[in-house]
Amino acid sequence: MSTNCRNENSDNSIIILDFGSQYSMLIARRIREARVYCEILPYHTSAAEIASRKSRGVIISGGPGSVYEEGAPLCDPKIFTLGVPVLGICYGMQLMAFFLRGQVNKGHKSELGKAEVHIIQEDPLIAGVSPSEENIFHAWMSHRDQVLSPPLGFQVTARTSNGIIAAMGSPGEKIYGLQFHPEVVHTTAGTTIINNFLFNICGCSPGWTPGNFIEKTIPEIQAEIGNKERVLCALSGGVDSSVVAFLLDKALKERVVCIFVDHGLIREHEAREINNTFSQMLKGDFIFIDARERFLKKLTGITDPEEKRRIIGREFIEVFKDAALSLKGVNYLAQGTIYSDVIESGSLPSAETIKSHHNVGGLPAELGFKLIEPLKELFKDEVRQVGRQLGIPASIIDRQPFPGPGLAVRIVGEVTAEKLDLLKKADYILQQEASRCPSFTGQAWQYFAVLTGIQSVGVREGKRTYGPALAIRAVSSEDGMTAEWILPPVELLQRFTCRVYQEIPEITRVLLDTTSKPPGTIEWE
């Protein structure tokens, strides 16, 4: 949709040209944290396109390329003559030197990790980075090639203790380069450097706030939809689609129809909570579809994880399609796509399919809906901030991420009504007990129970038992792409195990999953 605030924000925004660095997204995050709007664009975006966006500055990201390699990704060199401030980071600085006739040396060994950087002379970019008189700070390096001599008119402002050029700049032209990564936390002065670029060099102001986003987006939604049309909002009960529903509710009131498909693979009491929250808090219609039997039937006899995911995704589309087609006068479908989804499916090369993620993507084309995605410029934590500002209850906003195929990917082997019942009970006990340990829940990205598919022997009241083994999994993560396993407090483990033993006698054993991602994924299937 056109709830794209590019034009409204562009006179106070930054463009990041993405050369494939693992840190491009992190640059965007740091800039947004400084309350400045930014967009990541593909590296080959033309200077004319960049000029048309009237942004205040351009950052050229790092990347795995080498300027001397055949087919190396290059930016449009006219970017350096636009008169807009430019900051090249790592490969971005090498490109700058390459185009502006400095000298880049092809390195044979990469330098990775923390380096000591010595300031030679301050310029507006590195002003105030070293409070000590020694003029030293630590920076994160990840490069092979290096700039041997800067372009004409550039000053070398800092070098590493190995003598490598760490920073250079031409303040007159407002063009700067950094060999290290200011966006990485290990660069001690990273925030100062980024703020220097944003506020002192580009002249941005910190106006990107959740409140401003809501104020700006509501009239955009109203303009897009007009004053007659209705919008269908696909609700999953998760944070993103909930925020979309509340935003639409504010903009369009009773012209929003929310639809929730209960596939039976959700957590204990979740269907009731979603029903209560959304049917009471929103002004438009709320359609609740009980499709539990339909899904369970389709999953009978299926044990392959990918096959399960495919079946659930397909069936979801079928149920949704049936419901949507019966609605009259609804031409738009709203989805909770967020910025990381856009980036992952857009400018980065498509990664190997580890798991087929389930969402409603692909529906609009089939159903003839026009798509609106009002959150597609926001990161997850920004979505949460907007949600809080909209008055959405904390029970929704602070929800853990939950996979589309739900508990089916936490039951190894065939999904049956009995296994679902056991897992829902165990998960509910875990959520209850965990809520008594806020320091743990605050630290965890997700914590949940898994039916491992292992049967084991137990003993109960002097008699042999044989039943399923349950695992607890708790991880911390920034974005779900990588994760570290975390240890729940021992009292929590003790209380959980004790309650499982008392309340779910079928379970013979409780295990703790100590696998990070990689090598494990967060969900078991």
Residue 177 interacts with ligand XMP (CB under 6 A)?
Answer: no
Q: Which residues are catalytic?
A: 90, 181, 183
- Cβ of residue 345: shortest distance to ligand XMP, in angstroms? 13
Residue 182 interacts with ligand XMP (CB under 6 A)?
Answer: no
Interface region with ligand XMP, contact rule CB under 6 A, candidates 8-16, 68-76, 400-408, 451-459: 400-408
Cis (ω within 30 of 0) for the bond into 518?
yes
**Residue count (the chain):** 525
Residue 361 interacts with ligand XMP (CB under 6 A)?
Answer: no
Using CA atoms, how far apart are residues 93 and 59, in angstroms rounded to an integer?
A: 10
- Cβ of residue 267: shortest distance to ligand XMP, in angstroms? 12
Interface region with ligand XMP, contact rule CB under 6 A, candidates 244-252, 362-370, 396-404, 435-443: 396-404
Q: Which residue, 344, 347, 366, 372, is CA-closest to 357?
A: 344
- Cβ of residue 319: shortest distance to ligand XMP, in angstroms? 16
- Cβ of residue 203: shortest distance to ligand XMP, in angstroms? 39
Nearer to ligand XMP, 145 or 315 (CB): 315
Nearer to ligand XMP, 388 or 517 (CB): 517
- Cβ of residue 182: shortest distance to ligand XMP, in angstroms? 28
With b for 16 or more beta-carbon neighbours within 10 A and e for fewer, the 444-461 pattern comes to bbbbbbbbbeeeeebeee
Nearer to ligand XMP, 256 or 483 (CB): 483
Q: In the structure encoding, which two tokens stand for residue 99, read together?
A: 């185009």
Q: In the structure encoding, which two tokens stand for residue 370, read together?
A: 């026009």
With b for 16 or more beta-carbon neighbours within 10 A and e for fewer, the 6-28 pattern comes to eeebbebbbbbbbbbbebbbbbb
| DSSP bridge pairs for 483 | 517
Nearer to ligand XMP, 14 or 234 (CB): 234
Interface region with ligand XMP, contact rule CB under 6 A, candidates 3-11, 79-87, 402-410, 501-509: 402-410
Half-sphere exposure of 249 (CA within 13 A, CB side): 21
Q: In the structure encoding, which two tokens stand for residue 170, read together?
A: 């031409």
Q: In the structure encoding, which two tokens stand for residue 63, read together?
A: 């990347």
Residue of 35, 114, 399, 517 interacting with ligand XMP (CB under 6 A): 517
Residue 355 interacts with ligand XMP (CB under 6 A)?
Answer: yes
| DSSP bridge pairs for 466 | 457
Nearer to ligand XMP, 98 or 402 (CB): 402
Cis (ω within 30 of 0) for the bond into 219?
no
Residue 144 interacts with ligand XMP (CB under 6 A)?
Answer: no
Residue 359 interacts with ligand XMP (CB under 6 A)?
Answer: yes
Residue 404 interacts with ligand XMP (CB under 6 A)?
Answer: yes
Nearer to ligand XMP, 6 or 357 (CB): 357
- Cβ of residue 211: shortest distance to ligand XMP, in angstroms? 28
If binding means CB under 6 A, how many residues of this protein chain bind ligand XMP?
14
Residue 480 interacts with ligand XMP (CB under 6 A)?
Answer: yes
User: How are strands ordered across the β-sheet holding 13-18?
Assistant: 37-42, 13-18, 57-60, 86-89, 175-178, 165-170, 155-160, 111-119, 136-143
Using CA atoms, how far apart are residues 136 and 129, in angstroms rounded to an integer?
A: 8
Question: Which of positions 408-447 make contact with ligand XMP (CB under 6 A)?
Answer: 446
Residue 237 interacts with ligand XMP (CB under 6 A)?
Answer: no
Nearer to ligand XMP, 89 or 383 (CB): 383
- Cβ of residue 480: shortest distance to ligand XMP, in angstroms? 4
Using CA atoms, how far apart are residues 79 and 92, in angstroms rounded to an integer?
A: 12
Using CA atoms, how far apart are residues 312 and 360, in angstroms rounded to an integer?
A: 11
Q: Summarize as ranges the residues that interact with ligand XMP (CB under 6 A).
A: 355, 357-359, 401, 403-405, 446, 480, 517, 521-523
